[in-house]
């Protein structure tokens, strides 16, 4: 039997429908322009509406005194994009693009101070009350206190813009008993907006290629 136009059309429809059903909530992360975010490549991250402050950056001062390791904070000025950060998936194999709901490390690049041996983001003490649960650098890739994932923001500010939130998931990297992931929020400490784990509104952010 010769294939008809109709059988081709049915076949194509079959491909389209099976391809568009997600097998899990794992999918490619997209930047502010809708482009796929590359794994292991530097990006700026910042709020959806930049009038709510600038991008995320490091600071090596707290209360006007030098601190080490540096804190991960939001630049107060909306014109500033902040620093750039590299998101690296920890799953096996070469992945070209970043995925949601997949364990990754967030790297700040080369150490800028003498005390900064490692530049992965980490949290010091999960059980501590704020401000001890602020995010700093000095973490180790795939360590339970540096075990982050990017997830879709549940109620995005704009349906047209891909926005995300971060979670810290120690038990996914073998740390302690199984427990839910911690949301990453903005925690205001003496006028400085820190990234921290907490129960407040999760920090909604977008990716922009550096
Ligand atoms: C994390 O944030 C989401 C979205 O706001 C919320 O539904 C969830 O309960 C939060 N989880 C925790 C552990 O606070």
- Which range, of 7-11, 38-42, 60-64, 125-129, averages the lowest pLDDT? 7-11
Q: What is the pLDDT of residue 51?
A: 64
Confidence of residue 193 (pLDDT cuts 50, 70, 90): very high
Q: What is the pLDDT of residues 94-140, one digit of tens each?
A: 899 999 999 999 999 877 777 777 899 999 887 777 667 999 999 99
Buried-state track 23-55, b at ≥16 Cβ within 10 A, e below 16: eeeeeebbbbeeeebbbeeebbbbbbebeebbb
Q: What is the pLDDT of residue 16?
A: 42
**pTM for this prediction:** 0.85
Confidence of residue 9 (pLDDT cuts 50, 70, 90): very low
Q: What is the pLDDT of residue 19?
A: 41
Say which residues have a Cβ less than 8 Å from residue 123's Cβ, sequence separation at least 6: 133, 134, 135, 136, 145, 168, 182, 196, 197
Q: What is the pLDDT of residue 18?
A: 39
Q: For residue 183, how far is its CA from the centre of ligand 1 (angstroms)?
A: 6
Tell whether the model's pLDDT for residue 160 goes beyond 70. Answer: yes
Q: For residue 114, how far is its CA from the centre of ligand 1 (angstroms)?
A: 37
Q: For residue 181, how far is its CA from the centre of ligand 1 (angstroms)?
A: 9
Ligand 1 pocket list (CB less than 6 A): 154, 180, 183, 199, 202
Alpha carbon distance 49, 153 (integer Å): 14
Q: Which atom of ligand 1 is nearest to the CA of 154?
A: 4
Q: For residue 154, how far is its CA from the centre of ligand 1 (angstroms)?
A: 9
C-alpha 180, offset from chain centre: 17
Taking residues 31-55, report their average pLDDT: 92
Q: Which of 19-23, 75-79, 132-136, 149-153 shows the highest mean pLDDT?
A: 149-153
Q: What is the pLDDT of residue 111?
A: 72
Query: Which residue out of 202, 203, 204, 205 has the highest number of ligand 1 atoms within 8 Å of its CB and is therefore the one to mutate?
Result: 202
Query: Which residue out of 101, 183, 184 has the highest number of ligand 1 atoms within 8 Å of its CB and is therefore the one to mutate?
Result: 183
Q: Which atom of ligand 1 is nearest to the CA of 183?
A: 1
Q: What is the pLDDT of residue 22?
A: 38
Whether omega for the bond prior to residue 131 falls within 30 degrees of 0, making it cis, is yes
Counting residues of the chain whose pLDDT is more than 70, the rounded percentage is 86
């Amino acid at each position: 039997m010769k294939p008809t136009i109709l059988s081709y059309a049915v076949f194509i429809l079959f491909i389209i429908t099976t391809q568009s059903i997600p097998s899990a909530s794992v999918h490619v992360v997209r930047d502010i322009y809708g482009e796929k975010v590359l794994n292991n490549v530097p990006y700026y991250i910042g709020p959806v509406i930049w009038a709510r402050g600038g991008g995320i950056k490091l600071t090596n001062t707290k209360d006007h005194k030098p601190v080490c390791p540096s804190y991960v904070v939001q630049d107060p000025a909306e014109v500033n994009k902040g620093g750039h950060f590299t998101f690296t998936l920890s799953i096996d194999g070469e992945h070209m693009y970043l995925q949601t709901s997949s364990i990754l490390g967030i790297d700040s690049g080369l150490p800028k101070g003498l005390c900064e041996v490692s530049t992965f983001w980490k949290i010091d003490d999960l059980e501590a009350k704020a401000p001890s649960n602020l995010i700093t650098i000095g973490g180790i890739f795939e360590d339970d206190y540096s075990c982050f994932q990017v997830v879709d923001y549940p109620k995005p500010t704009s349906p047209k813009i891909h926005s995300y939130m971060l979670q810290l998931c120690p038990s996914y990297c073998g740390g302690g008993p199984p427990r839910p992931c911690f949301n990453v929020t903005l925690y205001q400490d003496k006028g400085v907006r820190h990234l921290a784990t907490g129960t407040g509104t999760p920090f909604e952010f977008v990716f922009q290629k550096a």
